[in-house]
A and B are shown apart, each in its own frame.
Chain A
């Protein structure tokens, strides 16, 4: 889990993930689009791959990188958990307020 977030905490890796939203891409295209050199991009892709955020798709002579749902689903679960913290907290506040209102009416 931490590996997933660490992988995404680097701005260029996040940009790669965002770029791949539009579809699979070759290393060269990613490098050109983001203005990075190929060895840098390969290194980032490798980190993203280990974190299950991208996967490789071999197509004819080309290796294309595409998003891997596995890592992205982990993130989704985590975001959901963060939302639950506030939902839980404010549900409790709701109870406190109901209690205060009741006492005032007595």
Chain B
């Protein structure tokens, strides 16, 4: 199994990357087509499931993913496609609807062929401000928490190293 890397960039972006054992056209299809998205987007091991999943994958089209965790009310992520260049590049907005006032992220995902049969996926999420990134990030699963991810990430690892 390939590993997932998650880092922060600057004070307003998050970068997630991963290599998949398939060419870009397959990974792009799995990433965008709602029939496939509903199979992977909700983190099942954390008790979440997909309630509904719609995606009109074309420039100007929209998508809406609704997930639910346990018996808590469902919540949705939604946005519009800004650029759809299959199978190598995708740009879309993403709002977390319960906190829509905070604005939306602009997500740029690139799918780069590695050798004959692999794809390097890099998802770059840029938020309107550092503060919004904090809010959106920290709402991952629990509401109302805010944190400056990269600063704390760095801090915690330093402290852990110091404590060992």
Q: State in angstroms the CA–CA spacing of A84 and B138 once bound together.
A: 13
Beyond the given pairs A2-B144, A79-B149, A92-B39, 4 more chain A to chain B contacts, judged by CB atoms under 8 angstroms and listed by A's residue number, are A6-B146, A75-B156, A89-B42, A98-B21
- Measured CB to CB, the residues of B under 8 A from A are 1-4, 6, 16, 18, 20-22, 26-27, 29-31, 36, 39-46, 134, 137-138, 140-142, 144-149, 151-153, 155-156, 158-160, 163
Q: Helix, strand, loop or mixed for chain A's interface?
A: helix
B40 touches A95 (CB 8 A): yes
Residues on the A chain within 8 Å of B6, using CB: 82-83, 86
If the complex has contacts A2-B145, A85-B43, A94-B20, are A18 and B155 also in contact, measured as CB distance less than 8 A?
yes
- Measured CB to CB, the residues of A under 8 A from B are 1-2, 5-6, 8-9, 14, 17-18, 21, 67, 69, 72, 75-76, 78-79, 81-98, 100-101, 104
If the complex has contacts A2-B145, A14-B151, A100-B30, are A82 and B156 also in contact, measured as CB distance less than 8 A?
no
Closest chain A CB from B119 CB (angstroms): 9
B1 touches A94 (CB 8 A): yes
A100 touches B26 (CB 8 A): yes
B4 touches A90 (CB 8 A): yes
B40 touches A92 (CB 8 A): yes
- Please name the residue on chain B nearest to A17 by beta carbon: B155
Closest chain B CB from A56 CB (angstroms): 18
B16 touches A86 (CB 8 A): yes
